[in-house]
Chains A and B, each alone.
Chain A
Amino acid sequence: MYIYIDGKKISAKDGESILEVANRNEIYIPTLCHHEALDDVGACRVCMVEITHKDWGGWRNLVTACLYPVEEGLVISTSSEAVRRSRGTTLDLLMARCPTSDVIRWMAEENGEISVRYEQIDDGSKCIMCSLCVRACERMGCNAIGTVGRGHDKKIAPPFFENPENCIGCGACAAICPTGHIEVNDTRTTREIWDKKFNFVACEGCGEPVLTEEYRDYAIANRDLPADYYTTCSACKKKKLASHFDKVGS
């Protein structure tokens, strides 16, 4: 099928989202809660685009590109006046919520001039509730964190704000967070995340941290690899292999 994005005729497949087609054709649509490997939830609303169709009698609508499935002849605008206004408002609201986040500021500037400012909520939180962390955790099969509460006070947290029992300290939530909201405190021997403390498995060779003990147990239980893979750090593994190669070679 063919669709039109910003006037360009582009081929698309049934079942694809507008965003997928745009990405494939290197047409930029900003996103904050989309991730290629996770299910879309339509939370951030910055991927808003305007759609219409020649058969719709002039009717147009704003939809999220990450979720809207393409259809034959769909006409999409990624930066119409309405899109920019909607996106601008959303980013503006996010800037008020997390004034310290660079990602948001940068994206807002990209979208155009920032016209209205709202009351800033300076509670130090950078969380934009994109829920990427929750979905990443879900993907790991841990479900250690989730959303707690609703409304404006909704937070990302472990159930009942307690030490997350299921957390294995992998750190995927922190890695995926676009704003750097999630705190991880690592020392040579320990990791602290979500107020839960973990001990690192120390490398057999040099004592450097390899991964948390819980993560190791998780890996042994859930991935089909020998347990002794997780006992040594990369540098020592390489060193060992290097001398092995050397012996074999000579």
Chain B
Amino acid sequence: MGIANRKELEARRKALHKANENVKTHVRVCSGTGCAALGAFEVYDALVKESKKAGLPVQVELEPCGKEKDPLFVSLTGCQGFCQIGPLVHILPDDILYTGVKVSAVKDIVEKTLAGGQVVEKLLYKNPEDKKRLKGRADIPFYKGQELVALEGCGSVAADSLDSYVASGGFSSLAKALKMDPDQVISEVEKSGLRGRGGGGFPTGRKWRSCVSAEGDERFVICNGDEGDPGAFMDCCIMEGDPYRVIEGMIICAHAVGSSTGFIYVRHEYPRAVERLSLAVKTCEENGLLGKKILGSDLDFDISVARGGGAFVCGESTALMRSIEGSVGEPRAKYVRSVQRGFRDKPTVLNNVETFACVPSIINEGSDWFTSRGTEKSPGTKAFCLVGKVVNTGLIEVPMGTSLRDVVFGMGGGIIDGRPFKAVQTGGPSGGCLGEDHLDLPVDFDALAKAGSMMGSGGMIVMDDRTCMVDVAKYFLKFLMEESCGKCVPCREGVYQLHAMLDKLSRGEGEPQDLEKIQRLGKEIQVSSLCGLGKSAPNPVLSTLKNFREEYEAHVNDKRCPAGVCRDITTFTIDPDKCTGCLVCKKACPPDAISGEKKQVHIIDQDKCTQCGACRLVCKFDAVVTN
């Protein structure tokens, strides 16, 4: 049963709607990576089983299920965002969000909610602020202020079902695009101002147009799903949760630039994304949405799913293309752009997963719709992975221009344990850290860059006052030092030396001229390196040095780590005024360095102390202090 043309697509959609018009309740079980790890699949199975046992008219596919009244549709979706408190079960139309659902809780859900129409209070989200239970997404601060474009289907459509995507309006954008002239499609994308979500923020429409004007008998469309940034998982969520949207975006691009071959390059560590995408590609082929004469047009387009080479640098455009070609994934130094000579030296469009995922909505709703959100130079929305010392962590999508404060203290719910906010790191390993004075910065490509950080692919790591900026910079440099392709000298040797100097600082062996030296070396690495990795590798240290210079100076001049992180120059002591003698730290100390009786002030034996900081972490009274 293929979809040969636009008419058949619409017919299919109508049939699906008709078949489901009397579906009254929709249960969406999140099967994103986070929830899956916490047992979402088991919960799903139990839900289906229990519901059947309870005699409910369960339906798991978008197909008519007999004549029963009010069927119950249970589906597995992609990531619903709030992974931290998964597995999530979202029940519509009542907007009930059950969190931390265990198999043992399923019976309750079936009996009370699905059969009985009541809410199971104890499964609702508890707002940490006032301990109140909040019923649905509409009430939960984490979801407030979010606006889903790229993540629209992620968490709502059934991830492995073409029908589910079609029923939600999928491929109507492709149908529309195929009616348009390729040039019109590009113009629309240009007008939307869409900028690449993979890091660089290059205008997507302009990229497509230069590909069209490049000479070549063959053109390629590649989707970058390498997502190498540690802590970032939005592309993963999209590929797993809404694979058809990415494919639709790519087909539209193929039509616009005149390509017949596409690749999706998926990070090595994402087996489920590979699986879901491969299945989606196969389903599209079987249904005539990929292959020859797509939707009855003249467009022929095929997609292959390629597995990544496993290195961070493979996400860099030239390295990625070489990797698909079958060589070692190393960046290639050529002063020609890959839209002119990319994959197999042919004009190639390479875009990020999220970029492609934005395209269907832009074509469907029009560029004005897209530009009506976001900022002037960075229209639209952006997905972020909010992690670190915030209360709420997970996947969010907000309009560009949303302030860091709104993200961290709004959706993020502030800092864990109410500690002071110190910095937020954006842009992945080669991004930068912004402090308190940047909290009101509207998050968009240019504002972040101007502040010395970058958008990157959308990682956002929140840090509290117990994070040492020297340590943070050192951590990222170590990552980059190991992940550098090792080809060019400034990146391979320079980042190593930067790391060595930071290590010196953290051991308290820094000299006054070191800061100057770090800054100079960082700048030279930026201008001299071969690829984007090296050109941005000094960012973590340069941005922290700029925004948190006093902290560096404390390491150098006072041989002191204000955050109490750098072990060699930190001593932990107990403030006798604050200590209540609760014994908690004593029990937590691995080397048994703490002595003291109940209700008496505890003391740390400095000879035994290994500066692990466990005591400070557990002390509820902030009695453990550092120098």
Chain A positions near chain B (C-beta within 8 angstroms): 40-46, 48, 62-64, 67-69, 82, 85-86, 89-90, 93-94, 96-97, 116, 118-119, 128-129, 131, 146-147, 149-154
Q: Which residues of A contact B482 (CB under 8 A)?
A: 150-153
Rank and list the top 5 A-B pairs by shortest CB-CB distance, nearest first.
Answer: A42-B333, A154-B486, A93-B493, A89-B524, A151-B482
Give me 12 A-to-B residue pairs in the complex whose CB atoms sit less than 8 angstroms apart, sorted by A's number: A43-B488, A48-B528, A86-B490, A89-B521, A93-B489, A93-B490, A93-B494, A96-B493, A129-B486, A147-B486, A151-B481, A154-B485
> Across the interface, do B490 and A90 meet the contact criterion of CB distance under 8 Å?
yes
By beta carbon, the residue of chain B nearest A68 is B335
Known: A45-B528, A86-B528, A90-B528. A151 touches B484 (CB 8 A): yes
Q: Which residues of A contact B54 (CB under 8 A)?
A: none
B612 CB–A CB distance under 8 Å: no
List residues of B (508-549) whose CB comes within 8 Å of A's CBs. 517, 520-521, 524-525, 527-530
Given pairs A45-B489, A93-B489, A118-B497, 6 additional interface contacts (CB within 8 A): A41-B487, A43-B487, A45-B528, A93-B494, A151-B484, A151-B492
Known: A45-B489, A67-B333. A96 touches B530 (CB 8 A): no
Known: A85-B524, A89-B524. A45 touches B488 (CB 8 A): yes
B313 CB–A CB distance under 8 Å: yes
B496 CB–A CB distance under 8 Å: yes
> Across the interface, do A150 and B489 meet the contact criterion of CB distance under 8 Å?
no
Known: A45-B528, A48-B528, A152-B496. A67 touches B335 (CB 8 A): yes
Q: Which residues of B contact A68 (CB under 8 A)?
A: 335
A85 vs B519: C-alpha distance when bound (angstroms): 13
> Across the interface, do A151 and B494 meet the contact criterion of CB distance under 8 Å?
no
Q: Interface range on chain B: under 10, 10 to 19, 20 to 34, or 35 or more?
A: 20 to 34
A96 vs B525: C-alpha distance when bound (angstroms): 15
A146 vs B530: C-alpha distance when bound (angstroms): 20
Known: A86-B524, A94-B493, A116-B520. A152 touches B481 (CB 8 A): yes
Contact with A along B581-593 (1 / 0, CB 8 A): 0000000000000
> Across the interface, do B497 and A151 meet the contact criterion of CB distance under 8 Å?
no
The number of residue pairs between A and B whose CB atoms lie closer than 8 Å in the complex comes to 106
Q: Which residues of B contact A85 (CB under 8 A)?
A: 524
> Across the interface, do A42 and B486 meet the contact criterion of CB distance under 8 Å?
no
B94 CB–A CB distance under 8 Å: no
In the assembled complex, how far is the CB of residue B425 from the closest CB belonging to chain A, in whole angstroms? Answer: 21
Known: A45-B488, A68-B335, A86-B524. A152 touches B483 (CB 8 A): no
B311 CB–A CB distance under 8 Å: yes
B92 CB–A CB distance under 8 Å: no
Q: Which of B485, B496, B500 contacts A150 (CB 8 A)?
A: B485
B334 CB–A CB distance under 8 Å: yes
Known: A43-B530, A48-B528, A116-B521. A89 touches B490 (CB 8 A): yes
Q: Which of A89, A116, A118, A150 contacts B486 (CB 8 A)?
A: A150
Q: Which residues of B contact A63 (CB under 8 A)?
A: 335
List residues of B (299-322) whose CB comes within 8 Å of A's CBs. 311, 313
Chain B positions near chain A (C-beta within 8 angstroms): 311, 313, 328, 333-335, 481-490, 492-497, 500-501, 517, 520-521, 524-525, 527-530
By beta carbon, the residue of chain B nearest A146 is B328
Q: Which residues of B contact A152 (CB under 8 A)?
A: 481-482, 484, 486, 492-493, 495-496
A41 vs B527: C-alpha distance when bound (angstroms): 17
A67, A68, A131, A149 — which one has the most chain B CB atoms within 10 A of its CB? A67
A90 vs B525: C-alpha distance when bound (angstroms): 9
> Across the interface, do A45 and B492 meet the contact criterion of CB distance under 8 Å?
no
A174 vs B332: C-alpha distance when bound (angstroms): 25
Q: Which residues of B contact A153 (CB under 8 A)?
A: 482, 486
Q: Which residues of B contact A93 (CB under 8 A)?
A: 489-490, 493-494, 497
A119 vs B485: C-alpha distance when bound (angstroms): 21
Q: Which of A62, A96, A131 contacts B528 (CB 8 A)?
A: A62
By beta carbon, the residue of chain B nearest A154 is B486
Q: Which residues of B contact A45 (CB under 8 A)?
A: 488-490, 528-530
> Across the interface, do B489 and A154 meet the contact criterion of CB distance under 8 Å?
no
> Across the interface, do B335 and A43 meet the contact criterion of CB distance under 8 Å?
no
> Across the interface, do A62 and B494 meet the contact criterion of CB distance under 8 Å?
no
Known: A64-B333, A154-B492. A149 touches B486 (CB 8 A): yes
A183 vs B483: C-alpha distance when bound (angstroms): 28
A67 vs B333: C-alpha distance when bound (angstroms): 8
In the assembled complex, how far is the CB of residue B583 from the closest CB belonging to chain A, in whole angstroms? Answer: 45
Q: Which residues of A contact B521 (CB under 8 A)?
A: 89, 116, 118
A146 vs B528: C-alpha distance when bound (angstroms): 24
By beta carbon, the residue of chain B nearest A131 is B487
Known: A41-B333, A63-B335, A89-B494. A150 touches B528 (CB 8 A): no
A69 vs B333: C-alpha distance when bound (angstroms): 12
A233 vs B544: C-alpha distance when bound (angstroms): 65
In the assembled complex, how far is the CB of residue A117 from the closest CB belonging to chain B, in whole angstroms? Answer: 10
In the assembled complex, how far is the CB of residue A72 from the closest CB belonging to chain B, in whole angstroms? Answer: 15
> Across the interface, do B333 and A151 meet the contact criterion of CB distance under 8 Å?
no
> Across the interface, do B497 and A119 meet the contact criterion of CB distance under 8 Å?
yes
Q: Which residues of A contact B313 (CB under 8 A)?
A: 150
A89 vs B492: C-alpha distance when bound (angstroms): 13
A46 vs B197: C-alpha distance when bound (angstroms): 33
Q: Which residues of B contact A96 (CB under 8 A)?
A: 493, 497
By beta carbon, the residue of chain A nearest B486 is A154
In the assembled complex, how far is the CB of residue A133 from the closest CB belonging to chain B, in whole angstroms? Answer: 14
> Across the interface, do B489 and A129 meet the contact criterion of CB distance under 8 Å?
yes
> Across the interface, do B489 and A43 meet the contact criterion of CB distance under 8 Å?
yes
> Across the interface, do B333 and A119 meet the contact criterion of CB distance under 8 Å?
no
In the assembled complex, how far is the CB of residue B615 from the closest CB belonging to chain A, in whole angstroms? Answer: 34
Known: A63-B335, A150-B313, A150-B485. A97 touches B524 (CB 8 A): no
A116 vs B493: C-alpha distance when bound (angstroms): 14
Q: Which residues of A contact B496 (CB under 8 A)?
A: 152
> Across the interface, do B497 and A42 meet the contact criterion of CB distance under 8 Å?
no
A183 vs B530: C-alpha distance when bound (angstroms): 29
In the assembled complex, how far is the CB of residue A85 from the closest CB belonging to chain B, in whole angstroms? Answer: 6
A45 vs B489: C-alpha distance when bound (angstroms): 7
Q: Which residues of B contact A97 (CB under 8 A)?
A: 493
B483, B489, B528 — which one has the most chain A CB atoms within 10 A of its CB? B489
By beta carbon, the residue of chain A nearest B482 is A151
A45 vs B494: C-alpha distance when bound (angstroms): 12
> Across the interface, do A69 and B517 meet the contact criterion of CB distance under 8 Å?
no
Q: Which residues of B contact A131 (CB under 8 A)?
A: 487
> Across the interface, do B487 and A129 meet the contact criterion of CB distance under 8 Å?
yes
> Across the interface, do A151 and B488 meet the contact criterion of CB distance under 8 Å?
no
